[in-house]
Amino acid sequence: MIEEIMTSANIICAIGTGLQVYSVIKNKKILKGYSLSGSLLTFLAVLLFQIGFFLMDYKLSWILGIITVLYWFSVIVYKLRYR
């Protein structure tokens, strides 16, 4: 039951991240409004979720979460590069 809930939440998160990526592709200036500290905290939280999914052997959740981890990592790189 827990695995299904976590997988459903990750599907929703992956869709949301996909929409964010689409918005950024259309207009990179959107990232200027992102907070570096907020993005870093979000990245760390998502990374910890990923570690938990891996340890609990929730393969689909782990695979879907990679999209979100990569997105927030790229936001941090962008924010550090273009301060």
CATH code of 14's domain: 1.20.1280
pLDDT at position 68: 94
pLDDT at 1 over 90: no
pLDDT at position 48: 96
Residues in contact with 36: Cβ distance below 8 Å, sequence separation at least 6, in sequence order: 76, 79, 80, 83
Range of the domain at 35: 2-81
Q: How many domains does the chain have?
A: 1
pLDDT digits (tens, 9 = 90+) for 47-76: 999 999 999 999 999 999 999 999 999 999
pLDDT digits (tens, 9 = 90+) for 2-16: 889 989 998 999 999
> Mean pLDDT score of the chain, rounded to an integer?
93
pLDDT at position 83: 80
pLDDT at position 28: 87
